[in-house]
């Protein structure tokens, strides 16, 4: 569902054909600030299933009772890089892996169905390798949260985060609503969506961002007012899931019954396709 009145050329896509994840396009996020993250599923967890041209990101319970779910990405940033415990040289970093896909201006679209049970969430978003490493978001990049669903069929969308996660942190959204901590309702869609598959798209231009849901513009074009900014650097794509209790040392069934229920029901974040288009002049 491309925006009307513009020309586009497909430059990258995954239709999830075949019977396995294409590892030339996607990798797994398994680390957080250089350490293995107990809440991320890896390639050996069986948390990603390709069937009938649908990529299913599943909640998995490991034999020790730990719940994990996958985050798939086409690149990496600093917190993805594992720290070497016994480095041979001064820098405790291993050899970097080249990104599988990075891009900047264009139209980014995902057709997906969000999770149907509470306890975890799903997202379609973008990050930059140097995000937060500079106070200039044009150079360092901006996190583009194109779609997030923290509750089944409740979409919190079109948020942007930049300048790290500390005292310099900034954010804005496509509804130009003031941010109040704990009041996520300011970022929810202002029209209801039926259960099932929907398309979420972001038109990224040098002067701003415009969003579309099922082909209809959602919110206003942002990036040019107040603390808003537009990334001018290449970024990578993520399709991901995460449990709400991921900061706990152990997410086990006894402590988080919602995850136990979702796992037993075989709940999943289902992605039909991800497509990237250049804007034709």
pLDDT at 186: 45
pLDDT at 142: 97
* DSSP 8-state class, residue 40: B
pLDDT at 190: 64
pLDDT at 245: 78
CB atoms within 10 A of CB 53: 11
pLDDT at 94: 83
Domain architecture of the chain: domains with CATH: 15-80+98-279 (2.60.120.200)
Using alpha carbons, list the distances in angstroms from residue 253 to 113, 116, 117, 173, 278: 25, 18, 15, 35, 45
What are the mean pLDDT values of the chain's consecutive 10-residue runs (281 residues total)? 91 96 97 90 97 97 92 94 80 86 98 94 96 91 94 80 89 77 58 87 97 92 94 98 79 80 96 97 86
pLDDT at 180: 60
pLDDT at 249: 65
Q: Could you tell me the sign of the dihedral formed by the alpha carbons of 217, 223, 227, 232, in that order?
A: positive
Tokens linked to 221? 């074009």
């Amino acid at each position: 569902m491309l925006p009307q009145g513009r020309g586009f050329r497909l430059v990258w896509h995954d239709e999830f054909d075949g019977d396995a994840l294409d590892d030339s396009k996607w990798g797994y996020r398994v680390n957080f600030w250089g350490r293995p993250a107990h809440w991320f599923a890896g390639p050996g967890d069986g948390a990603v299933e390709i069937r009938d041209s649908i990529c299913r990101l599943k909640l998995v319970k490991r034999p020790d009772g730990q719940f994990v779910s996958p985050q798939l990405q086409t690149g990496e940033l600093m917190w993805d890089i594992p720290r070497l415990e016994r480095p041979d040289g001064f820098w405790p970093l291993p050899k970097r892996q080249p990104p599988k896909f990075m891009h900047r201006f264009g139209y980014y679209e995902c057709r997906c169905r969000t999770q149907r049970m509470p306890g975890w969430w799903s997202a379609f978003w973008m990050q930059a390798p140097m995000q937060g490493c500079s106070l200039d978001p044009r150079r360092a990049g901006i996190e583009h949260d194109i779609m997030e669903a923290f509750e089944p069929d409740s979409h919190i969308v079109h948020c942007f985060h930049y300048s790290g996660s500390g005292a310099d942190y900034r954010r804005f959204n496509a509804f130009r609503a003031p941010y109040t901590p704990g009041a996520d309702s300011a970022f929810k869609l202002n029209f209801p969506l039926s259960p099932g598959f929907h398309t979420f798209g972001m038109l990224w231009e040098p002067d701003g961002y415009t969003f579309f849901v099922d082909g209809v513009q959602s919110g206003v074009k942002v990036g040019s007012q107040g603390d808003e900014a537009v990334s001018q650097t290449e970024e990578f794509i993520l399709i991901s899931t995460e449990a709400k209790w991921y900061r706990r040392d152990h997410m086990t069934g006894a402590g988080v019954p919602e995850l136990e229920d979702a796992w037993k029901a075989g709940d999943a974040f289902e992605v039909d396709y991800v497509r990237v288009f250049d804007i034709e002049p």
